[in-house]
Amino acid sequence: MSNSTLSYASSKAAPRAIRDIRPPLLELRNLSTHYVSQQGTRVVPAVDDVTLSIRPGETLGVVGESGSGKSTLALSILRVLPTAARIVNGQILFEGEDLVTKSDSEMRHVRGKRIAMILQDPMASLNPLFTIGNQVAESMRVHEGTRRRAAWQRAIELLKSVRIPSSETRVTQFPHEMSGGMRQRIVGAIGISCEPRLLIADEPTTSLDLTIQAQYLALLRDIQREHGLALIFITHNLGIVAKMCDQLAVMYAGRLVEYGPVERIFDNPVHPYTKALLNSIPRIDGMRQRLTAIEGQPPDMARLSPGCAFAARCPMAFDRCRVEAPPSVALEENRTARCWLAVPEPPRAAVGVA
Amino acid sequence: MSTTTITEVAAIRDTGRFRLLRSRDFPLVPVLIILTIALVAVFADFLAPHNPEVGKLAARFKPPFWMAGGSMTYPLGTDQLGRDMLSRLIFGARVSMVVGFTAVIFAGVVGTTLGIISGYMGGWVDQAIMRLTDAWLALPALTFAIFLAAIVGPSEMNIVIILALVYWTRYARIVRGEVLSLKEREFVRLAVVAGCSKWTIMRKHILPNVMNSAVVLASLMLGVVIVAEASLSFLGVGVPPPKPAWGLMLSDGKQGLMVGYWWLTVMPGLCIMLMVLSANLLGDWLRVKLDPQLRQL
């Protein structure tokens, strides 16, 4: 067991790992966001010591169970956290500037303009009382002071670019006159209206049926290619990750348990949690296997043990896992895992006790 | 039978303009009453046969025309100073309407604004505004109004301000509640994420969405405010005397009630009742039509 772990780290001296030397667009360094209860007695580390980066034009998939901190991560980047949450540590470097230290009014010029976001339920993301054109134009009017008429024209173009037919008449209509897929594309149009550098999509397809989902994903990819924007894609659908993403970040209990290029992780998952996730998707190729579910429940985030958060459910856990949290281990260029099994010198006791 | 079905189908299909007005449960009579009173108030100068503030002492306590001693000169009789009841009721409509509507609107503006700020800002702002509202609501409305009226002295404008100050709390509470749920809606969060400022969000995304509730509440408050105005006038701290106000007329006529001059009190009483009843019926209907959430209130 321990030998094979070692070989993950060393065997594939990735030829593609050195291809990209551009500076990252967004870099999170040891970012921690905690929810603190009103009396300060309960602290929930929703995002704990997350380090990752994303380059221009790249797509990063963030996966994890509900409550693993994916959305909090996204909200932290935009600094639109609920009042109980605050960023307690770390840096968010976006185009070289640290967003954590920016003032609220400075952040307002980042939101929507340089980093845009599509929310979990785009179906409800439109104000029922205003026309589509009005809402697509809003961001431009807020950020770029575009005149009403010009913004309106631009809204029509944007709707065209997200493939909404007869966009000239659609801009004058209200959200309830649109189908779900259309509303979603409109939200996409709002997202790209100010030509952001980074788009964060928080489970944008969960409320859609499969065919519309596929269309929407294709559209997102086209938009991304055309505008060269980086995309952070939050989802729990690994199929989408496989199709869409370059990089993958797997989160568990607020921590980044595995991070790296998608193919590499899919081929050779290091963290037992990632393995379990991959084993729980049905495959249509090759042998029929039993789908394996991950036993147990995600931990109570307010009462995390000092050890690895996944230890209780991990089939490969050993003593050390329960007492000491594993550090983030660099496996190869741009790839990390948070697991004692990935540490180059695994303790001898590993196999016996598990 | 077949006709009913056809109208029903028509009602379902009816998506045109003013469809609210064509719906079958539209409270036509209350609306007509309010409209009539409003028109009477607007055209009081042309409708009133006599000067409402000057009477002929020779013609005191004349009964309405259908009673013995009554005449068409004074269709609804005269009061203790010989002033024409009909003219006074007509001009009284103006006072009630002006005071009622302006006070409701003032209260609505103050209450809605504070409610939106309170609900959206949250934190200590919310605490401050809501505790103020609680304290305000703990005071009995009418007593508080009398107290304020006693301080600033009676005048029509003062009454409007006093009533607005007394009744804004209801708007604040209901609007705040709406805002609390509204601000968790995705489109508000999208606006935040898109970089809109708090004020832009409150103005563009919150305010239009609470207008329904505010309007419904306003229509229900109209009746309350008109009664309050009448009560203040009745108690002598409302609209100052020679000016005709329904509450004041009620109060002036109350001695006459014992000696058979019933029209002095019944007439303005009827007017108040009709007005308030109509306002409430209209308000109830609007509440059901416009805002399903308010039905529980």
The verdict on residue A90 lying in a domain is no
* Cβ of residue A112 closer than 8 Å to a chain B Cβ: yes
Put simply, the answer to whether B204 touches A138 (Cβ < 8 Å) is yes
Q: Which residues contact B288 (CB under 8 A, 6 or more apart)?
A: B295
Q: Which one of A112, A123, A129 has the shortest CB-CB distance to B193?
A: A112
Q: Which residue of B has its CA nearest to A195?
A: B194
Residue A88: exposure state from Cβ atoms within 10 A (0-12, 13-18, ≥19): middle
Q: Do B189 and A80 touch (CB under 8 A)?
A: yes
Note the pLDDT tens digit of each residue in B10-69. Answer: 455 555 556 666 666 778 888 888 888 888 888 877 777 777 777 777 767 777 777 777
Look at residue B21 in the predicted model and tell me its pLDDT.
62
Domain tally for chain B? 1
Within A104-145, residue ranges assigned H as helices are 104-110, 132-144
Q: Is residue A179 part of a domain?
A: yes
Beta bridge partners of A234: A62, A202
Residue A283 lies in a domain: yes
Q: Are the beta carbons of A142 and B205 separated by less than 8 Å?
A: no
Instruction: Tell if the CB–CB gap between A125 and B197 is shorter than 8 Å.
Output: no
Query: Which DSSP letter does residue B49 get?
Result: S
Does residue A272 sit within a domain?
yes
In a domain, B43, yes or no: no
Asked whether residue B116 carries a pLDDT value surpassing 90, the answer given is yes
Which SS3 state, helix, strand or coil, does residue A298 take?
A: coil
Contact list in B for residue A143 (CB cut-off 8 A) is 195
Q: Is residue B266 part of a domain?
A: no
Range name among A71-85, A160-174, B71-85, B234-248 with the lowest pLDDT average: B71-85
pLDDT in tens, B257-275: 777 788 888 888 888 888 8
Amino acid identity of residue A49, one-letter, is D
- φ, ψ for residue B123 (rounded to 5)? 60, -145
Q: Closest partner residue to A125 among B123, B187, B197, by Cβ? A: B187
Q: Does residue B186 surpass a pLDDT of 70?
A: yes
Instruction: Answer whether residue A320 is part of any domain.
Output: yes
What is the domain extent for residue B183? 100-242+279-296
**Alpha carbon separation from A77 to A32, A232, A272, A338, B268 (Å, rounded):** 11, 11, 28, 22, 66
Secondary structure (DSSP) of A223-288: HHHHHT-EEEEE-S-HHHHHHH-SEEEEEETTEEEEEEEHHHHHHS--SHHHHHHHHTS--SSS--
**What is d(CA B249, CA B253) in angstroms, rounded to the nearest whole number?**
6
- DSSP sequence for B259-276: TT-THHHHHHHHHHHHHH
Chain A window 133-172: which residues touch B at a Cβ cutoff of 8 Å?
138-139, 142-143
**What pTM was computed for the model?**
0.73
pLDDT band at B114 (very low <50, low <70, confident <90, very high): very high
Of A195, A221, A253, the domain-final residue: A195
Chain A residue nearest residue B192, CA to CA: A80
Strand partners, A32: A89
**A124 close contact with B: CB closer than 8 A:** yes
Strands A198-202 and A230-234 come out as parallel
- DSSP designation for A111: B
From B187, B193, B209, residue closest to A80, measured CB to CB:
B193
With beta carbons under 8 A apart, name residues in chain A contacting B191: 127, 138
In a domain, A180, yes or no: yes
A186 has a chain B CB within 8 A of its CB:
no
Number of CB pairs, chain A paired with chain B, less than 8 A apart: 69
Residue A304 lies in domain = 265-353
* Distance from the A97 Cα atom to the nearest Cα atom in chain B, whole angstroms: 18
Contacts of A140 in chain B (CB under 8 A): none
Helix (H, G, I), strand (E, B) or coil at A127: coil
Minimum distance, in Å, between the CA of residue B176 and any CA atom of chain A: 18
Give the angle A170-A173-A179 at the CA atoms, nearest 5°. 75
Write down which residue in A170, A195, A220 finishes a domain.
A195
Question: What CA–CA distance (Å, rounded) separates B71 from B64?
Answer: 7
Mean pLDDT, rounded, for B191-211: 86
Taken in order B132, B137, B139, B145, the sign of the CA dihedral is positive
Q: Do A138 and B185 touch (CB under 8 A)?
A: no
Better-predicted residue by pLDDT, B192 or A40: B192
| Residues with Cβ within 8 Å of residue B251, at least 6 apart in sequence | B233, B234, B235, B236
Q: Is A139–B186 a contact, with Cβ atoms under 8 angstroms apart? A: no
Residue partners of B8: CB distance under 8 A and separation at least 6: none
pLDDT in tens, chain A (354 residues): 344 333 344 434 444 444 556 788 898 889 999 988 877 777 888 888 898 889 888 899 999 888 888 888 998 998 888 888 888 888 899 888 888 888 888 888 888 888 988 887 767 888 888 888 888 888 888 888 878 888 888 888 888 888 888 888 888 888 888 888 888 888 888 888 888 889 998 887 776 777 778 888 888 888 888 888 899 999 888 888 888 888 999 998 888 899 999 888 888 888 888 888 888 777 666 666 667 777 777 888 777 778 888 888 888 888 888 888 888 888 877 888 888 888 776 555 544 443
Distance CA A283, CA A290 (A): 10
Helix (H, G, I), strand (E, B) or coil at A192: helix
Domains contained in chain A, number: 2
* Structural domain ending residue among the three candidates A145, A175, A195: A195
B118 located within any domain: yes
Closest CA–CA distance from residue A34 to any residue of chain B (Å): 19
Nearest-angstrom CA–CA distance, A281 and A268: 15
Q: What pLDDT, on a 0 to 100 scale, did the predictor assign at position B131?
A: 92
